[in-house]
């Protein structure tokens, strides 16, 4: 059976995976939580090592956001374990989140092998507690990810869900509105007219507020 690459707004596909923490079924294993599945090209590679260190350093921040992490590459589980040991012994960071040991099947299902490479791209799937894919990021092998941006995205999505708002560029440090959020556009003429000249509205279609 052929599957398309999962898209934003779709349900994360059910996957049975083997990890450094044992077998898991996704997204069921993280039911009721947000989770981030991120792939890396290979164990024991320089950029990937810096990324895993950075993810682990922010693991507490993710957990405060009710968010779990799970890594993936087309490597065997013993490779993941030895790499984890190397990171702890040499960099002082114990990797606490699971890493999927993939034969290539999971990577193919999620569209993580692209171009002429046989390795996975640096992908990020942000999935909400209902198992819906909320964001997808792809990075080339030569560019490491910005972990603070991924933390920001989770925070922003959670704020959007809670308050029914949108977030401006570089939120919460937007050049125009600071940490304010964007009010949804008016859905009718009456609301649009009410917003003209209202505090926090540059126009009827562009309003911001504090939360």
Residues taking part in catalysis: 48
Q: How far is CA 30 from CA 68, 121, 132, in A?
A: 7, 23, 12
Query: By three-state DSSP, how is residue 22 classified?
Result: strand
- Is 30 buried (19+), middle (13-18) or exposed (0-12) by CB count in 10 A? buried
Please say whether the beta carbons of 122 and 29 come within 8 A.
Answer: no
Joined together, the tokens standing for residue 169 give 């560029």
d(C-alpha 134, C-alpha 71), whole Å = 18
């Amino acid at each position: 059976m052929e599957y398309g690459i999962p898209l934003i707004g779709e349900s994360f596909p059910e996957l049975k995976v083997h990890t450094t923490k044992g077998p898991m079924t996704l997204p069921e294993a993280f039911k009721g939580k947000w989770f981030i599945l991120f792939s890396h090209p290979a164990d024991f590679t320089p950029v990937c090592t810096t990324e895993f260190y950075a993810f682990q350093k922010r693991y507490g921040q993710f957990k405060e956001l009710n968010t779990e992490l799970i890594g993936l590459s087309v490597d065997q589980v013993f490779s993941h374990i030895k790499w984890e040991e190397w990171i702890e012994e040499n960099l002082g960071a114990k990797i606490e989140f699971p890493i999927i040991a993939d034969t290539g099947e999971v990577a193919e299902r999620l569209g993580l092998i692209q171009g002429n490479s046989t390795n996975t791209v640096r992908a990020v799937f942000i999935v909400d507690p209902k198992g819906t894919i909320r964001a997808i990021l792809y990075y080339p092998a030569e560019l490491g990810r910005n972990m603070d941006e991924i933390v920001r995205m989770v925070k922003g999505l959670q704020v959007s869900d809670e308050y029914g708002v949108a977030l401006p560029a570089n939120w919460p440090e937007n050049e125009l509105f600071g940490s304010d959020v964007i009010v949804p556009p008016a859905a009718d003429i009456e609301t649009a007219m009410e917003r003209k000249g209202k505090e926090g509205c540059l126009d009827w279609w562009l309003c911001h507020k504090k939360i």
